[in-house]
């Protein structure tokens, strides 16, 4: 029995046959799916699952044979062997170092034929089978051989054409398959993600294109194929189809009915939405989620965010942690390196100060002389900062200038509220109450983005780890505070969407009523859904998408693909 090597991050010893398909199609896709544990559905993968629904249900019994058995003798050939049709058969072999779930095995005595179902139609190419499908099928045949069967060919069944195509396992195909198996193992053991495909027509249909970011990474790395921002294709949707769900009704019960989430109050259904349309569930105060709904949300990777009645984020319920251990190892390594942490923090802080300056320039009608120049001067000092402490001092100085002029961005003739200074814990006026709530919502979104990428949200670079503080989420939120949270607050006050009745005043503290929170959440979600032109890539996407892109670019930097993390600015 041969020994199969493992990667430094513990890649499984047995290579799934599907990974040979992925590697032949795109080595980077194979690495992301197998080593990093990334996966995302697309219309093609969902349709493929539907087309596989029958063969994915185990049925039939494939007799166990002596591994690596001899070909049948004359007596066995003359006998009337039993015909077997077994669906969803799992086979593995440590000698090959491979494992496969075969859609269908048709066996007759000692002879067996793997049948692989494909959702499309028969391709109009020589042999009528693409190379990725040929090697995947061949590895299934080699696993049948290793488990005692004679296997000389396999079958691809194209559901769209309702037609079978036979593939013979000749020496050339077997050698090609074994060579690919070795290369996949070496790739995983090397611990280095392959580069993205260059201007490939495969990318637009790939389900992981929003995770891979092939053109964005190529552009930032200085590829000769993606030289100008206009060369970067927007291969992901501009907006997300799935959106957050908020439950504020006290005593509300979130349940599951089929593929729908329902909200019931005193036994009466007050709201319902499809699970496909939900990206997260936020619970405020004393609302509950049933065990059935919780389990379904966990299985789908949809987080449940728990807020106090007043809007403070207390925790999140999510499924099993993201499988990308490689990313978390590099995250912790960089967090423990003061120089690496400082370099990332500088990029984030430069972006935040530039965005703050843009907000003042766009929204303040009579900005005092020197305010913009002072923030510009402080931004220039960021690059020379030699420690996180120095950076904190620069941020504090810039925040004083910014918030000293914040009241000028609120239209006095429209809004009944004014702003004097930033205060919190607790907020002492309506504007600060709204800002604090919006910052909490922004941090929740940053936590969702960080966890979706595979980060540990509690290990940051600028915000240092502290018990209970999601430091990385706070890091990722920094450059978006002016553009999303502050902008949403200004919209609410300048459009007179909030009234005095939307606030509760107790003992010098101010908080939002349920109706007030609903209005603020609406403004926040509208801002998150706003399409803007990305300053680096020149395509239009929503702020929600951009936050995820930024988190993924940070991951690419930590994994060594990008030399620096590019902070996001509007211009």
Give 121-173 pLDDT, tens digit per residue: 888 888 888 899 999 999 999 999 999 899 999 999 998 888 999 999 999 99
Task: Please name the residues in contact with 568: beta carbons below 8 A apart, sequence gap of 6 or more.
Answer: 351, 479, 480, 534, 535, 536, 546, 550
pTM of the predicted protein model: 0.82
Determine whether 396 is exposed, middle or buried from the number of CB atoms within 10 Å of its CB (0-12, 13-18, 19+): exposed
Quote the CA–CA distance of 282 and 42 in Å, as a whole number: 25
Residues 269-299 as b/e (b if ≥16 CB within 10 A, e otherwise) read eeeeeebeebbbbbbbbebebeeebbebbee
Helix (H) or strand (E) holding 371: helix 371-382
Residue 126 is given by DSSP the state: G
- Chain CA centroid to CA 220, Å: 20
Residues 371-383 as b/e (b if ≥16 CB within 10 A, e otherwise) read bbebbeebbeebe
Helix (H) or strand (E) holding 103: strand 98-108
pLDDT tens per residue across all 571 residues of the chain = 333 333 445 555 789 999 999 999 999 999 988 888 887 665 455 554 545 555 556 656 777 776 655 555 555 555 566 788 888 889 999 889 999 999 899 998 889 999 998 888 888 888 888 899 999 999 999 999 999 899 999 999 998 888 999 999 999 999 999 999 999 998 888 878 899 988 888 888 888 888 888 888 988 888 777 778 778 888 777 777 778 888 888 888 998 888 888 888 888 888 888 988 888 888 888 888 999 989 988 888 888 888 887 777 777 888 776 677 888 999 999 999 999 999 999 999 999 999 999 999 988 888 887 889 999 999 999 999 999 999 999 999 999 999 989 888 888 756 667 777 787 778 888 888 999 999 988 998 998 888 888 898 889 999 877 666 789 999 999 999 999 999 999 999 888 888 888 888 887 788 888 889 889 999 999 999 999 888 888 888 999 999 999 999 999 999 989 999 999 998 7
pLDDT at 278: 86
Q: Check if the beta carbon of residue 351 is closer than 8 Å to that of residue 357.
A: no
pLDDT at 144: 93
CB atoms within 10 A of CB 327: 23
92-to-66, 89, 381, 452 alpha-carbon distances in Å = 14, 10, 59, 31
pLDDT at 502: 87
pLDDT at 267: 82
pLDDT at 4: 34
pLDDT at 67: 67
Residues 62-74 as b/e (b if ≥16 CB within 10 A, e otherwise) read beebeeeeeeeee
pLDDT at 46: 53
pLDDT at 464: 78
pLDDT at 80: 61
Quote the CA–CA distance of 48 and 131 in Å, as a whole number: 19
Quote the CA–CA distance of 17 and 33 in Å, as a whole number: 13
- Between helix 338-363 and helix 371-382 the angle, nearest 10°, is 160
Give 51-102 pLDDT, tens digit per residue: 555 555 665 677 777 665 555 555 555 556 678 888 888 999 988 999 999 9
Give 40-54 pLDDT, tens digit per residue: 665 455 554 545 555
Q: Check if the beta carbon of residue 106 is closer than 8 Å to that of residue 82.
A: no
Quote the CA–CA distance of 283 and 286 in Å, as a whole number: 8
């Amino acid at each position: 029995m041969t020994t199969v090597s493992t990667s430094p991050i513990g890649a499984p010893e047995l290579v799934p046959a599907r990974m040979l398909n992925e590697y032949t199609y795109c080595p980077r896709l194979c690495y992301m799916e197998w080593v990093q544990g990334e996966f995302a559905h697309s219309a093609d993968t969902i349709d493929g699952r539907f087309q596989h629904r029958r063969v994915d249900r185990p049925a039939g019994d494939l007799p166990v044979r002596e591994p690596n058995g001899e070909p049948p003798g004359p007596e066995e050939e003359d006998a009337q062997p039993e015909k077997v049709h077994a669906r969803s058969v799992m086979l593995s072999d440590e000698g090959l170092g491979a494992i496969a779930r075969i859609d269908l095995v048709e066996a007759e005595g000692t002879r067996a034929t793997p049948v692989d179902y494909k959702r499309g139609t028969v391709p109009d190419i020589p042999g009528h089978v693409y190379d990725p499908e040929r090697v995947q099928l061949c590895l299934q045949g080699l696993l049948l051989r290793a488990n005692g069967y004679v296997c000389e060919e396999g079958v691809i069944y194209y559901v769209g054409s309702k037609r079978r195509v036979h593939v013979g396992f000749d020496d050339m195909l077997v050698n090609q398959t074994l060579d690919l198996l070795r290369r996949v193992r070496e790739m995983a053991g090397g611990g280095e993600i392959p580069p993205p495909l260059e201007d490939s027509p495969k990318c637009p249909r790939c389900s992981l294109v929003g995770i891979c970011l092939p053109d964005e990474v190529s552009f930032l790395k200085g590829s000769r194929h993606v030289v100008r921002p206009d060369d970067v294709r927007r291969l992901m949707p501009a907006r997300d189809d799935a959106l957050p769900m908020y439950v504020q009704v006290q005593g509300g019960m979130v349940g599951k009915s089929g593929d729908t989430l329902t909200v019931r109050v005193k036994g009466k259904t007050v709201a319902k939405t499809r699970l496909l349309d939900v990206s997260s569930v936020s619970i405020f105060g004393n609302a509950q989620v049933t065990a059935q709904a919780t389990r379904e949300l966990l299985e789908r990777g949809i987080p449940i965010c728990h807020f106090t009645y007043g809007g403070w984020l207390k925790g999140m319920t999510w499924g099993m942690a993201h499988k990308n251990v490689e990313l978390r190892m590099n995250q912790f390594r960089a967090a423990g390196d003061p120089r690496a942490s400082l370099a990332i923090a500088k990029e984030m802080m430069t972006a935040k100060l530039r965005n703050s300056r843009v907000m003042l320039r766009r929204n303040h009608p009579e900005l005092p002389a020197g305010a913009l120049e002072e923030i510009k001067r402080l931004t220039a000092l960021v690059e020379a900062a030699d420690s996180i402490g120095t950076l904190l001092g620069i941020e504090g100085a810039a925040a004083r200038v910014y918030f000293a002029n914040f009241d000028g961005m609120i239209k006095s003739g429209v809004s009944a509220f004014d702003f004097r200074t930033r205060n919190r814990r607790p907020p002492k006026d309506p504007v600060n109450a709204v800002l604090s709530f919006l910052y909490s919502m922004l941090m929740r979104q940053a936590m969702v983005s960080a966890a979706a990428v595979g980060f540990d949200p509690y290990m940051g670079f600028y915000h240092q780890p502290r018990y209970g503080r999601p430091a990385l989420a706070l890091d990722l939120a920094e450059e978006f505070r002016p553009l999303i949270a502050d902008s949403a607050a200004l919209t609410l006050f300048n459009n007179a969407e909030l009234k005095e009745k939307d606030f509760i005043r107790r003992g010098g503290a101010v908080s939002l009523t349920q109706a007030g929170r609903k209005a603020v959440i609406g403004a926040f979600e509208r801002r998150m859904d706003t399409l803007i032109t990305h300053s680096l890539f020149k395509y239009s996407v929503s702020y929600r998408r951009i936050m995820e892109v930024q988190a993924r670019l940070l991951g690419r930097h930590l994994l060594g693909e990008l030399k620096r993390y590019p902070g996001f600015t509007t211009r």
